[in-house]
A = this chain, B = another copy of it.
């Protein structure tokens, strides 16, 4: 590995144990064993169990693996929405999920707010079958408060609550009693190379997909929810899976369990606090999200006076890679990731440097 530290919001810095787990995987022939073998089923089960415990899922939740979080947007539209999904949309990633529903010719509705701004209402249409909420909008650093999610679920118990946990889970706590389905990718909080999505779905989701199939609807093929569940019951996958990444994900989940998930989350809060304090005290930086309750704890997004190039370049010389703003904000903003593998010391050093350099 180079001497750089990636504070980019994903792909990002590799988890500090990633290479050790890779070596262990090679030693155990994880890249060569059959995905129908007992060895595979054992590692698959272990990863699922570790994630289950780490995310504090209910007995009702199941875990499946896809190629990306993008794929999960698509699979949810195919498997959980007959006519209408509803989307809370104040950022690029929430918009993508909404666009996927449009591309599949559903009739999605949306509660829209200017990018990065809070929503005026938590009401959703009565006929919404699924409600898509982005817990942490990686593109602009807006955090959807958990309490608002619980309120929406309480007011709409029949609507499937679908949480985009990309760049949030497991660092941001969420009570899965209120969540029917959620998903994330491993190149954020788990510090792994990209190429694996994790889909969590409860029995209500599986029942819905089954019903849609009974009613003659197309829910996909090998990665339909019922196909996932059929193979998942045997601790297998429909296709030859990315066993190596599934193995390593389980091991990193175990590392986090060993540290304690509350410890991981407390550190996230601490590091996020000093990041925003720094942004507020440094003349050229200004947190994009104004109200503290909506500020992402894992991706701090800041407007940068006179453009993002200077601060990115100066940090690069120190070996610290910051993320530019997303899409059309590339030149105006920086995004600084604060994931579980970014240590307190690393974040403190970065903050000290920014204060010295730009005070």
Q: Which residues of B are found within 8 Å of A74, using beta-carbon distances?
A: 220-223
Q: In the complex, which residues 1-19 of chain A have their Cβ closer than 8 Å to any Cβ of chain B? A: 1-2, 4, 6, 8, 10-14, 18-19
Copy number in the complex reads 2
Question: Does more than half of chain A's interface fall in helix, strand or loop, or is it mixed?
Answer: loop
- Which of A29-37, A54-62, A148-156 interfaces with chain B? A29-37
A92 at the interface (CB under 8 A from B): no
A70 at the interface (CB under 8 A from B): yes
Choose from B1, B193, B220, B224 the contact partner of A244 (Cβ within 8 Å): B193
A140 at the interface (CB under 8 A from B): no
* Distance between Cα atoms of A340 and B105 in the complex (Å): 45
* Known contacts A1-B27, A70-B222, A74-B220; A32 and B19 CB within 8 A of each other: no
- Which of A233-241, A255-263, A282-290 interfaces with chain B? A233-241
Interface size class of A (residues with CB under 8 A): 35 or more
A209 to chain B, nearest CB (A): 13
Q: Return the CB mask of A35-68 against B: 1 if under 8 Å, else 0.
A: 1000000000000000000000000000000111
Choose from B32, B35, B66 the contact partner of A67 (Cβ within 8 Å): B66
- Which of A96-104, A116-124, A303-311 interfaces with chain B? A96-104
Contact present for A221 and B100 (CB under 8 Å): yes
Q: Which residues of B are found within 8 Å of A100, using beta-carbon distances?
A: 221-222
Q: Which residues of B are found within 8 Å of A81, using beta-carbon distances?
A: none
* Distance between Cα atoms of A323 and B192 in the complex (Å): 31
Contact present for B8 and A239 (CB under 8 Å): no
Contact present for B70 and A193 (CB under 8 Å): no
Identity of the chain B residue whose Cβ is nearest the Cβ of A220 in the assembled complex = B74
Q: Which residues of B are found within 8 Å of A338, using beta-carbon distances?
A: none
* Distance between Cα atoms of A330 and B18 in the complex (Å): 36
Contact present for A103 and B73 (CB under 8 Å): no
Contact present for A185 and B29 (CB under 8 Å): no
Q: Which residues of B are found within 8 Å of A253, using beta-carbon distances?
A: none
* Distance between Cα atoms of A244 and B22 in the complex (Å): 13
Q: Which residues of B are found within 8 Å of A18, using beta-carbon distances?
A: 31
Q: Which residues of B are found within 8 Å of A11, using beta-carbon distances?
A: 31-35, 240, 243
Q: Which residues of B are found within 8 Å of A103, using beta-carbon distances?
A: 218, 220-221, 224
Identity of the chain B residue whose Cβ is nearest the Cβ of A68 in the assembled complex = B239
* Distance between Cα atoms of A187 and B77 in the complex (Å): 30
Q: In the complex, which residues 64-112 of chain A have their Cβ closer than 8 Å to any Cβ of chain B? A: 66-71, 73-74, 77, 96, 99-100, 103-105
Q: In the complex, which residues 160-207 of chain A have their Cβ closer than 8 Å to any Cβ of chain B? A: 185, 187, 192-196
A355 at the interface (CB under 8 A from B): no
A136 at the interface (CB under 8 A from B): no
* Known contacts A19-B26, A35-B194, A195-B196; A221 and B68 CB within 8 A of each other: no
Contact present for A68 and B240 (CB under 8 Å): yes
A62 to chain B, nearest CB (A): 19
Contact present for B4 and A29 (CB under 8 Å): yes
Identity of the chain B residue whose Cβ is nearest the Cβ of A97 in the assembled complex = B221
A242 at the interface (CB under 8 A from B): yes
Q: Which residues of B are found within 8 Å of A139, using beta-carbon distances?
A: none
Contact present for B238 and A70 (CB under 8 Å): yes
* Distance between Cα atoms of A104 and B218 in the complex (Å): 6
